[in-house]
Structure 1
């Protein structure tokens, strides 16, 4: 019996199946990384929008110091607690684009317009603008919604539902848990 000196060339079916399985795992991993990058990019854009909104409110408050420095109900920049779903907030402030407004009316109009922008930019938005000398709760290690109503620093506290959580809540029908503010920024220093 004559044997050939040359070895059989080619791939077996098992080798091909193993290489397809390894390639599939690699592709699934890269798709997972791509989805994470998109989600992270969305959250970064939302956080940047929140910072820009807080900066915008800071500029409005600093342009109207007579109202912003008040600690009573005449300071219409102060908001105890506001959520985007529970308040359309189209009532206070009147119209200050065409006519001259007094400082009080201007502050109410500024807040009305600013709340609309917050509701549009931040999913499930929640905000508080108050006098708070210690917004950080060291015992828990996070910011808190409650305001001390003391000190001379006016802060804005913004919270929103992360995009992934908002999508999950729509599908599951479960209420969102109480989250701490995601952004706390000093508007007027004391």
Structure 2
């Protein structure tokens, strides 16, 4: 006599649907982590580019320290509240200081350095904003962040760089504090100039 019991083999439709749902949730979580990783990597690359640009300007200012350490209108390294795409400095005629036969004054060299440097900043940083100024207190302790405003006092030249992050949450760039602040010229009196 044959057995009338059938043992159930395989999966039921409900079990298959549950496993598909669990797998889908796992894949969505993995995709979310991958996107966050890419965004973070992009922001890290942008911050590294900003840091390299600030270091480059620091080297240029230290080479031309006789001018860079002066707090006056002749110092072309001083730029306040420059924004990518702004007309300020874009159309100004600047003497090219690139050839070995080029005869450039320190002022010419500073103007050339800043024009070329701001072009690179505009290319490397999205919605770039910068200030290069004398500032003895760039940190705003009350707000707990760096401030765009410059005190125009002291003997320390700083560069303040800001950009719109690519990590979502597009805030207004005018309300965002500087994302990188770096000292360009050390705080010391140079050539007998005490902040004049």
Shared topology, TM-score over 0.5? yes
Partner of 2:94: 93
Q: Which blocks of at least 5 consecutive residues in structure 2 are unaligned?
A: 188-196
1:110-149 equivalent positions in 2, closer than 5 A: 110-149=113-152
Q: Which blocks of at least 5 consecutive residues in structure 1 are unaligned?
A: none
Deviating above 6 A after TM superposition, structure 1's stretches of 4 or more consecutive aligned residues are: none
| Aligned-pair CA distance for 1:9 | 1.2
- In 2 relative to 1, CA 176–184 (structure 1 residues): closer, same or farther, beyond 3 Å? closer
Partner of 1:7: 7
Q: Is the 8 A contact 1:57 1:187 kept in 2?
A: yes
**Residue 170 of structure 2 is aligned to residue 180 of structure 1:** no
Structure 1 or 2: more helix by fraction? 1
Provide TM-score, normalisation by structure 2: 0.88
Give the paired residue count.
184
RMSD over aligned Cα, in angstroms?
A: 1.9
Partner of 1:154: 157
Q: Distance in 1 between matches of 2:25 and 2:91?
A: 53
Partner of 2:105: 102
Q: Is the 8 A contact 1:93 1:106 kept in 2?
A: no
